[in-house]
Chain A
């Protein structure tokens, strides 16, 4: 394996939401790392903790309820968890930026799109660019994401959903961040636009050597864009590996198998889909052993008693008792 410098490294990160009545264990001891120019897919059902992870990296979790209980978020060796809010203002947008799920609501309706794209440059204006230069950069960026620059004085309501998502992407990339977090960037778009947007993100990523965290529940999107994949379930990463290991590898976490079983296939003649039975466990009251045990077809006695450890095979990590036994 080639040894590249990890741009972003998340180690043993846990996040809880604490209110007077209950404590929600949203993210539990997850670790992953991304190298320069790489794309990591974060896959899982709704409520698996994907967005919490993303907001945690941005340090945008709701301040009154959310707490980090363990771990570190290392961006180029600096732990973002220890930075003050003022230092974070400099990180956000310049080093790490985010694309939001719904482009219809992620744009300020009273600013023109040109102004909004320019906003991030204005805020992180270290080269003391003049207004004219900022304007010019905004125009370049708009051309890059495929919006005619003549439209920069128009308001968001004059744009369609796909065009708005382009604006959002332009806003996120205009300062050339090290890490881009794309939180389900195509969920709100229709399929044809989805493909365009994805290939555009990939092109820009190659051009700028940006590292991308692609949050999605769509395995198709993952197959198209990612280098590494982390499958999340109930706040844990249950399986982690390269795209090939996840899609074509032999050993899988039963949950991953279940996910693939839930997708209709175009090539095979399947009569029925095989959805995973049951629901995600209540995050305020997680099961003692393996968190997937109540829904797992291959559940054994030990799964209910003990939380499984991670077994690593050539970088392919699986958190399941099935594979621990083989090792022993």
Chain B
């Protein structure tokens, strides 16, 4: 057992060593850590009450020492709203991408690996979903289920699944043809084990990149839905919602747009950079 432990440890160290070589990925990781720090300690940085407290006398204040990011049209502190909004946005982004990844991986891998009827049935169903533009699809789901956080997550996940299934299926198709899959069959490995131990790990590169990039997309579509009132309901702070409500004041108070915007960009960027770095670091085929 002791041996096993050191071995796992050695592998992690090896992955970290490869990851560290990629400087931009390290920058991405630092930004991501910073945002995670905000998410975890939001309440310590600034209490939640601050972001719903409406102070009529302090409407549309520019950034100052008292209000770091200024205040919005109801006199709420934008700094507090952005900090707490991180929780919503990140949670939505990560939760939807992970769910879409798991469902997409199971469906896509089955379609690609088994082929034939299984492939046809799964792909045709996905085609039906793909006919509808994703934003309309999520809209329809939210309209049917009612608008709250849970339904928003379900809606965005559903709209994201078809793309994932297609991507994973196409990667799996090429991996499933490899000799080592046939070799695995030749010593009696069952299909489930082949999919999870041989096929998916070898297809992981494009999947990780896609998922990390999807997180930023998901944050944006959640923002879009919040904008048309089908997402997170005010006064809950959510980055997308902050952006859309700030549109009216784009010329008079641009800071209302700039600060949430910066955070969205930083988050997307960090996820993308980390995703890129991970692909390289996790791939034992890249020798150096």
Contacts and interface: CB of A to CB of B under 8 A. Distances in A.
Interface of A: 58, 60, 64, 88-94, 97-98, 100, 102, 105-111, 119-120, 123-124, 131, 135, 153, 155, 157-158, 168, 171-172, 175
Given A109-B202, A153-B7, A89 B190 contact: yes
10 contacts: A60-B182, A90-B188, A100-B182, A106-B179, A107-B180, A108-B202, A109-B180, A109-B284, A157-B284, A175-B187
A60 B189 CA distance: 12
Interface string B260-288: 00000000000000000000000011010
B186 interface: yes
A120 B184 CA distance: 9
B131 interface: no
B202 to A, nearest CB: 6
Given A89-B188, A92-B188, A105 B178 contact: yes
B150 interface: no
B228 interface: no
Contacts of A91: 188
A131 B189 CA distance: 18
B179 A102 contact: yes
**Chain B: interface residue count, which band?**
20 to 34
Contacts of A171: 183, 187
A110 B287 CA distance: 13
Contacts of A157: 284-285, 287
B10 interface: yes
Contacts of A123: 187-189, 193
Given A100-B182, A105-B178, A172 B187 contact: yes
B206 to A, nearest CB: 14
B81 to A, nearest CB: 44
Nearest to A54: B186
Contacts of A175: 187
Nearest to B202: A110
Interface in B168-203: 178-180, 182-190, 193, 197-198, 201-202
Interface of B: 3-4, 7, 10, 115-116, 178-180, 182-190, 193, 197-198, 201-202, 204, 284-285, 287
Contacts of A106: 179-180, 183
Interface of A is mostly: mixed
Given A109-B285, A153-B10, A155-B284, A60 B186 contact: yes
Contacts of B115: 64
A215 B245 CA distance: 73
Nearest to B6: A153
A135 B193 CA distance: 20
B202 A120 contact: no
Contacts of A119: 184, 187, 189
Interface centre among B3, B186, B189 (most CB of A within 10 A): B186
Contacts of B204: 110
A282 to B, nearest CB: 26
A93 B187 contact: yes
B4 to A, nearest CB: 8
Contacts of A172: 186-187
A92 B284 contact: no
Contacts of B189: 89, 93, 119, 123
Nearest to A121: B187
Given A97-B187, A109-B180, A119-B187, 18 more contacts: A89-B190, A92-B188, A93-B186, A100-B183, A106-B179, A107-B180, A107-B183, A108-B180, A108-B201, A108-B202, A109-B202, A109-B284, A119-B189, A153-B7, A155-B284, A158-B287, A171-B187, A175-B187
Contacts of B186: 58, 60, 92-93, 97-98, 100, 172
